[in-house]
Chains A and B, each alone.
Chain A
Amino acid sequence: MSTQSTIALGSARVGFRGRIHAIVAGRVAAGLPASELERRLIELGFVEGADVEVLHQGLFGRDPIAVRVAHTTIGLRRREAMAILVTAGA
């Protein structure tokens, strides 16, 4: 898997489909410690190998985004979604 095709979910457009490559919470300046952010993301189903699709986004700053993860839809802000690295193509 080349790093070329890997982007952060936080910068994906609506309609993006792909698969989670890695959770790297350390790269995000979120309001939580990296380990806590990572755990919360996993608890909502963001684990490596899961299929994702960006379904909707907000009006201002295209934020937050609604993401389909496997069979669940999760709303989250782009800032936290930057911790989720995804590979395009489903």
Chain B
Amino acid sequence: MSDAAPVVALVGNPNCGKTALFNALTGSRQKVANYPGVTVEKKVGPLTTPGGRTVRVVDLPGTYSLRARSPDEEITRDVVLGRTQNDVIPDLIVCVADASNLRLALRLALELKQVGRPVMLSLNMMDIARRRGIEIDADKLSREIGLPVVSSVAVRRGGTNALLAEIDRKLAERQGSTAVQWRAPDASGLRSAQKEADRILAAVVQGQGRPDSLTARADAILLHPVAGLVVLLAILFVMFQAVFAWAEPGMDAIEAAFHWLGGLVEAAPLPDLLKSFLKDGLIGGVGSVIVFLPQIVILFFFILVLEDLGYMARAAFLMDRIMGGAGLHGRAFIPLLSSFACAIPGIMSTRVIDDRRDRLTTILVAPLMTCSARIPVYTLIIGAFIPERDVWGFIGLQGLVMFGLYTVGIVGALAVSFVVKRLIWRGKPGEPFMLELPDYKLPRPRSLAIGLWTRATIFLKRAGTIILSMMVLIWVLASFPQPPEGATEPAINYSLAAKIGSAIQPITAPLGFNWQINVALIPGMAAREVAVGSLGTIYAISGGEEAADKIGQALSSQWTLATALAFLAWYVFAPQCASTLAVIRRETGGWRWLWVTFFYMLALAYVAAFITYRVALALGGG
């Protein structure tokens, strides 16, 4: 794909089927990257037109107007106006409209027309419009609006032929670059544009069209004040079950594969230091993160299905008031939900929140949601210290403690956002909640597959770059300097990590932490669950994570119950994840919010662990 190939940009309202059209045009050859300096996804794919022309197609974030309100929409504006610092300056803009929901799209088309670049209008989902009794006179629409108009059915073979032919024709008549002019319209400009759009709509559409009866019937339940919330909770419950239960075979397989790789290295005739680097640093480190791939894929499967269905907007609608009580925006619901799997995709999905303050609050509290990396640590400590018995005859005490840790995380997140709203951004009324609730549509397997594939590759790339380099750094800390000749203690005890552990001993002593815990916390910065393996190393237990039972036995003989509980409280709040912090820095465009997050979480963790330790001691847990 040559960089000189002409660029065709797809612009349209949210939910207009733009991404389905993009997938139909470019298939799986699309590339997802970030625009320089910002984190909005840049989706580009090659296309060869029937005329033999090679074209680069760009899918831009959905918007109602070029007056951008969120980082996503700013990208759409900047690409359309050619303001970006890169090569994607569109030679042709395809305004994609949902044929069954034309009203707002026509106003956007009128705005795009004013920019001065070549524009055409593609009426997408014509099949659905016809079924709903909407007949559009495309020729008349073209005359009235003054733009070429084609119809398309993205999901059907051959459904994009007319669009492709028109792209060919428009590109053939293209001449040099055009001067671009655009000024943010004022209210009266928007008003008259919408009235013009309404006039055109009345002139070209035959039949009023019935409102989608299936959507109306579904919403009678799904948006019901009580039933809607019950259904939402049920969906969440199934989702969590799936993330934890369905992912298990996949995670076991990945773990086994990395274990096997480690075994290969162990058996190879290599110097010990190189072996340790390959096995503990590379394979163990990266493996401990990649093991979450099945959970992330399953979580995103649910999120993509619910999004394609049109349900996500409803979830935000249902949760807006409830979350608003804690100072969060309704749209924060999805990012926080994703954070239960991993805060990284959660923080990345805060881009849908328009307002910067609302977005920052969500980013700040997302790491408090109990991510799946905490589970191995919780399981280890609970298994070792909490007796396996029932309370009130039917609830397992261990499960209850686990549930309690989740609850503490959620309550902590709500409390922090409440405080942030009241103390830091006090007096400023919240950003309005305004969201289109699109008609329900069945998700397309092909679009789902492409979406999942994209998510998985992004995650794997990150594991191969940022996380890999963190792991190497931590391996170095835990391995150097090397133990002296004839050393009796585990190698890590002589390392830099151990020195750091001892150095911070006075600080963590009030929490009941010994220096071994301090040392385990350092590799735990790469990924929380690494602390399990590190505790194993420090207490000189071979076998790594699968020897969790043995580690548990060692811990229960060496730690008091108070220390164990304080350690759990610490893990609920502590900023024990370098990759999350790195994502926060990237998403907020600076170091400031990274440090804010780091220190507030550290402070919470310290206070929580301190109180837990003291209370447990007082109750005889020493």
Task: Report which A residues bind B (CB closer than 8 A).
Answer: 23, 29-32, 35, 37-45, 47-50, 55-64, 66, 68, 70-77, 79-80
Contacts and interface: CB of A to CB of B under 8 A. Distances in A.
A75 B317 contact: yes
B321 A64 contact: yes
Given A55-B223, A77-B320, A35 B434 contact: no
A43 B103 contact: no
Contacts of B317: 56, 58, 64, 66, 75
Given A72-B103, A75-B313, A77-B432, A64 B191 contact: no
Nearest to A83: B432
B559 to A, nearest CB: 44
B441 interface: no
B322 A75 contact: no
Given A39-B67, A43-B190, A71 B219 contact: no
Contacts of B268: none
Contacts of A75: 313, 316-317, 320, 433-437
Contact of A66 (B185, B223, B229): B223
Interface residues of B, number: 48
A49 B225 CA distance: 29
A40 B321 contact: no
A44 B321 contact: no
A35 B429 contact: no
Contacts of A72: 101, 103-104, 436
Contacts of B83: none
A59 B311 CA distance: 18
B69 interface: yes
Nearest to A38: B187
Given A30-B429, A56-B219, A44 B318 contact: no
Contacts of A44: 64, 104, 434, 436
Contacts of B195: 47, 49
Residue with the highest number of chain B CB atoms closer than 10 Å, among A39, A45, A71: A71
22 contacts: A32-B432, A35-B187, A38-B187, A39-B65, A39-B190, A42-B187, A43-B65, A43-B107, A44-B64, A47-B198, A49-B195, A62-B225, A66-B219, A71-B103, A71-B211, A72-B103, A72-B104, A75-B435, A75-B437, A76-B432, A76-B435, A77-B432
Contacts of B506: none
Given A39-B190, A43-B104, A59 B432 contact: no
Nearest to B184: A39
Instruction: List 4 A-B pairs, minimum CB-CB distance, nearest first.
Output: A59-B225, A31-B429, A56-B223, A75-B317
Nearest to B354: A40
B186 interface: yes
A71 B101 contact: yes
Contacts of B248: none
Chain A interface, >50% SS class: mixed
Chain B interface, >50% SS class: loop
B104 A45 contact: yes
A43 B430 CA distance: 20
Contact of A60 (B194, B223, B322, B438): B322
Contact of B225 (A30, A40, A57, A80): A57
Nearest to B314: A75
A64 B320 contact: yes
B431 interface: yes
A31 B430 contact: yes
B226 interface: yes
A68 B211 contact: yes
A63 to B, nearest CB: 5
Contact of A37 (B432, B433, B437): B432
B187 A31 contact: no
Contacts of B431: 31-32
Contacts of A35: 186-187
Contacts of B437: 66, 73-75
Given A35-B187, A58-B318, 11 more contacts: A31-B431, A44-B104, A56-B223, A60-B325, A72-B104, A74-B434, A74-B435, A74-B436, A74-B437, A76-B434, A76-B435
B229 A40 contact: no
A47 B191 contact: yes
Given A40-B432, A55-B223, A71-B211, A45 B194 contact: yes
Given A39-B190, A43-B64, A44-B104, A31 B436 contact: no
Given A56-B219, A64-B321, A80-B434, A31 B65 contact: no
B101 A43 contact: no
Interface string B309-348: 0000100111011100100001000000000000000000
B428 interface: yes
B237 to A, nearest CB: 19
Contacts of B322: 60
Interface in B136-156: none
A40 B318 contact: no
A63 B185 CA distance: 30
A61 B186 CA distance: 33
B244 to A, nearest CB: 29
B355 interface: yes
Given A38-B187, A43-B64, A75-B437, A63 B321 contact: yes
B191 A42 contact: yes
B436 A80 contact: no
B69 A40 contact: yes
B433 A76 contact: yes
A80 B195 CA distance: 22
Interface string B426-466: 00111111111111000000000000000000000000000
A58 B325 CA distance: 14
B50 interface: no
A14 B330 CA distance: 21
